[in-house]
Amino acid sequence: MFKQTVPLAILAGLCISIGCIVNLRVGGVAGAVLFAFGLTTVVYYKLKLYTGTAGFIRAKGDWSMLVTVLLGNIVGCLLTALVACYAQPDIIEPASKILEGRLAKGPLACGLLAVGCGFIMTTAVQFAREGKMLPLLLGVPVFILCGFTHSIADAFYFLACPTEQVLSTSVLIVYVSEVLGNFVGCNLYRWVAPKPKE
């Protein structure tokens, strides 16, 4: 399982990073819409993305797999950030502004915003699994334009920033709050409206 999960998780981080790059370079509504390429690629190739997995894990299992997916996603973002920042250093400044904005909001606000993103992502992936892609294409620009926080996208944004800006306890706390917020949002529907027992 570990050997199968890690490459798929790293590739998922790379795909989301591509969406981040176009969003950083284009911005606005267009950047938010084009970001959707990342998630549609993840779904099409059945890659392992934290926010596409957290809402579907079994109640009493899969925790080690979920952690593996998260770490693999971060590695994919790190590798992509290293290449992208070298080849296209113009993305560093807008990425830094995103990080500054997250720190200004603080962990509680970022965590709450992550709940909204998690809810949208699980909903979009559920529709995609049923062959309905429109919610997937709409869900990504919706969460971006709402200002919701996506832990894997932010992994790329943060890792694209100068090292001295990222290596702080404040950044780690904000990031952990986003990971937890995404998890809550991904599971919100099944916690609030569980399926009736047959």
Tens digits of residue pLDDT in 130-176: 888 888 889 999 999 999 999 999 999 999 999 999 999 999 999 99
Give the mean pLDDT of the chain: 93
Cβ proximity of 80 and 12 under 8 Å: no
What is the percent of the chain where pLDDT is above 90? Answer: 81
Distance CA 46, CA 141 (A): 21
Residue 59 has a pLDDT of 60
- Judge residue 42's burial from the number of C-beta atoms within 10 Å of its C-beta, 0-12 exposed, 13-18 middle, 19 or more buried: buried
Residue 196 has a pLDDT of 56
The Cα angle at residue 68 between residues 194 and 124, in degrees rounded to 5: 40
Residues 6+ apart with CB under 8 A from 125: 43, 52, 55, 56, 136
What is the percent of the chain where pLDDT is above 70? Answer: 95
- Judged against a pLDDT cut of 60, whether residue 198 lies above it is answered with no
- Judged against a pLDDT cut of 90, whether residue 191 lies above it is answered with no
Tokens of 81: 């950030």
- Judged against a pLDDT cut of 60, whether residue 72 lies above it is answered with yes
Q: For residues 2 and 80, which has the higher predicted lDDT (pLDDT)?
A: 80
Cβ proximity of 92 and 160 under 8 Å: yes
Distance CA 94, CA 162 (A): 12
Residue 1 has a pLDDT of 66
Mean pLDDT calculated for residue range 83-105: 97
Quickly list H helices, 27-150.
Answer: 28-44, 50-53, 63-87, 92-105, 107-129, 134-146
Closest among 49, 180, 197 to 124, alpha carbons compared:
49
Cβ proximity of 73 and 6 under 8 Å: no
Residue 4 has a pLDDT of 87
Count of CB atoms situated within 10 Å of the CB of 171 = 17
